[in-house]
Amino acid sequence: MSFTERVFNFSAGPAVLPLPVLLEAQRDLVCYPGGGASVMELSHRGKVIDGIIKEAEARLRRILGVPDDYHVLFLQGGATTQFCMIPMNFLGEGGADYLEQGTWSKKAFGEAKRLGRAEVVWSGKEGGYSTLPEDNEYKVRPEASYFHVTSNETIHGVEFHRDPESYGVPMICDSSSDFLSRPVDMTKYAMMYAGAQKNVGPAGVTIVIIADSFYQKLIVDEKRPIMFDYRNHVEGKSLYNTCPVFAIYIVGLVLKWLEEEVGGLENMYARNQKKATLLYKALDESEGFYKGHAAVKARSLMNVTWRLPNEELEKQFAKEAEEAGMIGLKGHRSVGGIRASIYNAMPYEGVEKLVEFMKKFQERNA
């Protein structure tokens, strides 16, 4: 299959990557310029990979506005490993407070609860995880070691469109599914982490950004497994062990695309708003045939979730969409329905095609 036959990939992750990134990686796959071998064959301690990692970090700092006194790490294990790694390093006697906004924040809380004291200060469970709290709907305990939020819940399609209030407690954000989709004020976060495979690269690398002021609060435990101790990764500058060199290389190419071709986060945010507006308009104008899951104020720009009148129609929708050149629209197995992930790299034309398909499908099946 040539790249001209590529389908529109609405999968939640591993997700769509920018075509220019894939084409550049294709050119460099066998022999990286100046390296004499593929990126996958070069030593992670050699000058080529060292340069790739340093350039990726520098671009990330520029794009996101990461202050100099923050550490940037490229780790492995996905965001799920961070669910346990964070409390292993930072959960003190005061415990930690969590917002429970959906599946992933619930899992993060569960890991913290296994390791010490953790409290849910707000939960969207009763509403089926369709809403998010206003700042005055929860209180963070001042003695808490940290306050954990999830900026975007991939499965339920709800997203914060602001920086939540942490009431002076260090705030940690799982930003896996909306990382680099819009501008954020990094100074409001003690830590931010994101699995790359949704918005910034392939599976295999997780980006972790930690304020040094928070890092200095790390609880020293010499019995902690070495790979779960942030000290080793900070001191080793992401090279304590063999890092996922190819995944980091692709992240670097995505950052290059975002900075040089898109023009930064303000432009990316405008693109994402335009795509989401078109898709939500199709839901709202379907006269109930398509029922969106998320409350309007909490609608995600990244993961749009909805139901059809019955499960048989949902299966038929996903099947016919795939036949029409659109894959990955089946909802998560835990909730069903339909989910369209329209991450940064999803072109507007892909959403246009989906909306056109939705209208014709409704005409045939309403």
Give whole-number Cα distances, 165 to 99, 122, 160, 171, 220, in Å.
Answer: 11, 13, 11, 9, 28
Which one of 97, 106, 122, 174 is the catalytic residue? Answer: 174
The tokens describing 126, both together, are 């009763």
φ, ψ at 198 (rounded to 5°): -105, -45
Q: Is 28 a catalytic residue?
A: no
Nearest to 86 by CA among 59, 110, 62: 110
Q: Is 104 a catalytic residue?
A: yes
β-strand 152-153 against 147-150: which pairing, if any?
unpaired
Report the alpha-carbon distance of residue 53 to residue 233 in Å, rounded: 14
Q: Please, what's the largest Cα pairwise distance for the chain?
A: 64
Report the alpha-carbon distance of residue 15 to residue 133 in Å, rounded: 28
The tokens describing 105, both together, are 């924040």
State the DSSP code for 94.
T
Which one of 198, 256, 275, 330 is the catalytic residue? Answer: 198
Which one of 104, 122, 257, 306 is the catalytic residue? Answer: 104
Report the alpha-carbon distance of residue 294 to residue 337 in Å, rounded: 13
- The 10 Å Cβ neighbour count of residue 348 is 13
β-strand 191-195 against 152-153: which pairing, if any?
unpaired
**What's the angle, vertex CA 140, arms to CA 138 and CA 143, rounded to 5?**
160
State the DSSP code for 257.
I
Please give the helix or strand (H or E) that residue 72 lies within, else none: strand 70-75
The tokens describing 333, both together, are 């197995």
Catalytic residues: 104, 174, 198
